[in-house]
Amino acid sequence: MALTVTLTMLLIGVVALYYTFRYGIGMWGNNIPVGWAFDITNFVFWIGIGHAGTLISAILFLFRQRWRTSIARFAEAMTIFAVICAGLFPLIHLGRPWFAGYIFPVPNQHGLWVNFNSPLVWDVFAVSTYFTVSLMFWYIGLIPDLATLRDRAKSKIKKAIYSIFSLGWRFSNRHWQH
């Protein structure tokens, strides 16, 4: 029953995205200023969820809680997925996501440059920066676990891969200090 409801909601979402991408965001009724409230609210909601995960993990880290690992890992993963969800909204804002390449400030074949006054450009910068920082925060917490996997790996390929990702972590007292 729950799977049926979930798949039905997914189908409705896919159809709604299809119509948005096919006919543009004007079908949302964006000809009035309040019309932008729907997608801006969702964007801010997902960024807020990401901030909550970062805050939970950072507080546990700063207070050096020994029991924090599982909760912090969940909070950091929640942050990453929330930022990914938020990152989809500037694309949906465009109405036609195949034009997303024009948001990035790089020279292109048409000689067009980004309109730095547009909030969409700053959304891209903010979300990509926040995603990068969140990914690094998550990865740094994984380094001791990757070193454990490296030490327990049976095959040479896995051992080599985990050695690269564990960044030389050796479980010495110097490595555990922060």
pLDDT per position as a tens digit, 57-77: 889 888 888 887 788 888 999
The first and second tokens of residue 32, run together, are: 């009035």
pLDDT at residue 158 tops 70: yes
pLDDT at residue 152 tops 80: yes
Mean pLDDT of 28-42: 69
Q: Residue 53 in contact with residue 82, Cβ under 8 Å? A: yes
Q: Mean pLDDT over all residues of the chain? A: 82
Mean pLDDT of 119-125: 78
How many percent of the chain have pLDDT more than 90? 20
pLDDT band at residue 11 under the 50/70/90 scheme: very high
pLDDT at 70: 83
Contacts of 104 (CB under 8 A, 6+ apart): 114, 124
Mean pLDDT of 96-116: 71
pLDDT at residue 153 tops 90: no
**Buried b vs exposed e over 105-138: b needs ≥16 C-beta within 10 Å?**
eeeeeeeeeeeeeeeebebbebbeebbeebeebb
Q: How do the domains of the chain map onto residue ranges?
A: 1-31, 36-145
pLDDT at residue 35 tops 60: no
pLDDT band at residue 172 under the 50/70/90 scheme: low
pLDDT band at residue 30 under the 50/70/90 scheme: low
Global pTM? 0.73
Question: How buried is 54 (Cβ within 10 angstroms: 0-12 exposed, 13-18 middle, 19+ buried)?
Answer: buried
pLDDT in tens, 75-87: 999 999 999 988 8
pLDDT at residue 3 tops 90: yes
